[in-house]
């Protein structure tokens, strides 16, 4: 059995779409293929040393969400 994985995705910074954001938070998106299928992926980077940041999360089962 041969397994192949591509750990490198092409990420685009979307900070301008989610304004206002604190300067210590950045949002990225990728629409790269995984196993031949298009995936829409997001990730955020935040400086957790900033005590004034507040995060919330929606973890509803089997629901696909877009950051807001």
Q: Which of 13-22, 24-33, 44-53, 54-63 has the lowest mean pLDDT?
A: 54-63
Average pLDDT over residues 57-66: 73
Q: How far apart are CA 68 and CA 42, in angstroms?
A: 11
pLDDT at 49: 86
b vs e for 28-48, b when ≥16 Cβ sit within 10 Å of the residue's Cβ? bbeeeeeeeeeeeeeeeeeee
Domain range list for the chain: 12-41
What confidence tens digit (pLDDT) does each residue in 2-33 have?
Answer: 444 555 778 999 999 988 888 889 999 999 88
Enumerate residues 6+ apart whose C-beta is below 8 A from 68.
18
For the record, the structure tokens of 43 come out as 């990730």
Report helix, strand or coil for 13.
Answer: strand
């Amino acid at each position: 059995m041969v397994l192949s994985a591509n750990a490198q995705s092409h990420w685009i910074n979307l900070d301008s779409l989610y304004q206002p954001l604190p300067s210590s938070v950045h949002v990225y998106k990728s629409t790269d293929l995984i196993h031949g299928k298009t995936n829409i992926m997001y990730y955020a980077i935040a400086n957790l040393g900033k005590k004034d940041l507040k995060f919330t999360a929606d973890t509803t089962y089997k629901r696909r969400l877009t950051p807001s």
